[in-house]
Amino acid sequence: MGRHTVSQIRTVKRGGSRFYHNPETRVSVPGVTSVIGMLPKEFLGFWRAKLAAELAVDSLDFIKDMADRGGREAAVDYLKGAAGRYTKARAGIGSEAHDIFERMIRGEHVGRQRSDLEPYRLNFQEFMDVVQPELAGAEDIAWSDTHGYAGSYDAMAWIWLALDANGTLRVDRENGTRTLVMCDWKTGANTYPDVALQLSAYENADRIIHADGTESPMPEFGGSAVLHITADQWTFKPINTGPEVFAVFLALRKVFEWDRNISKDVIGRPLAGSSDKLTTGTQRRGR
C-alpha cells in the first residue's frame, strides 16, 4: 500500500462523545464507538440498579456508618457511583491488557505481569501460538471521508483460514488460505453483537491514517473476527460485517447527527405565549 504524509490526528471529547480532529483541514468526525453508542441500551438501567442494590446489601453496616458520619446524601452518592466505579476499574484492566496485546503481536517480548494481568498475557500468547497471525497493522485510525467517521482498530492480520467438511470456517496454517482479517480484542465478560457494527465501520472506511502521520488506502478484507479474551480463557470468533450490518451503522451515524446537531434547531422561537392569550367573546360578555 502506497503512503503519503498527512496531519497528525488528535482525539477530543465533546458532549460525552469522542471526535477525531484533523488540525490541517479542521475536519472533525465522530468516533465509531460514539456512533454505536446511539444504540438503545435499556439493560444498562437494570444493571446499574442491580450493582447499587448488591453493594447496599453486601455493605449494610458500612453504608449505615457512612450515613451516620457523612449524612444521607453521602451514602446515596456512594451507592449511585457503584456502576461507574466498576466500569472505570474494568476499563483500566482492558486498556492495560490491550497495551500488552499490541506489544506482543508486534513481536515485543513481554514478561510476567502483575497477578490480575498475567492471565491475559498467557491467554494471548496461547492465541498467538495457535492462530499464528501475521500482523499487517495495529492501532491505526480508520477514516471515512464518505460517511464522516473515524476509529482506532485493534489489529489487521493475515490468518490462514479453511472450510472443514461441514462448511465451518477454521484456522488451518497448513492447508488454509492466507486471508486479511480485521480483528478486535474484547476483554469483558461477554462479546456483544455491536462488535459487528464496529468492525464493519473499520472495514468500510476509505483510508488508514498511521501513527507516523502517513496514510494509505483501506485494503480489501477476507473477513473480520473478534478475540474474546478473559482471565480464564480465549475464543477467536468470525464476525459477519456484510452490507446489511454496515447499513445499520450508517443509520446510527444519522441518529448521531440528529442527536448532536439537527435536534438542537428543530424547535423554533415561540409564535405566541401566555401573555398573548386570546380572550373570547363569551369571556368578554361574562365580565
Domains of the chain, each with CATH number or no CATH? 4-22+113-262 (3.90.320)
- Which pLDDT band holds residue 286 (cuts at 50, 70, 90)? low
Model pLDDT, residue 64: 80
CA gap 198, 191 in Å, rounded: 12
DSSP character string of 64-116 = HHHHHHH-HHHHHHHHHTHHHHHHHHHHHHHHHHHHHHHHHHTT-------TT
Contacts of 188 (CB under 8 A, 6+ apart): 90, 94, 230
What is the end-to-end Cα distance of the chain in Å, rounded? 85
Span 35-61, pLDDT tens digits: 999 997 765 566 577 767 777 788 888
Backbone angles phi, psi at 121, to 5 degrees: -60, -45
| Largest pairwise CA distance in the chain | 97
Take residue 64 and report the three cell numbers written for it. Answer: 449505615
Q: How many CB atoms lie within 10 A of CB 11?
A: 13
- SS3 of 131, please? helix
Take residue 233 and report the three cell numbers written for it. Answer: 480463557
Take residue 97 and report the three cell numbers written for it. Answer: 491488557
- Give the type of residue at 173: R
Q: Which of 27-41, 56-70, 81-95, 142-156 has the highest mean pLDDT?
A: 142-156
pTM: predicted TM-score of the whole model, two decimal places: 0.79
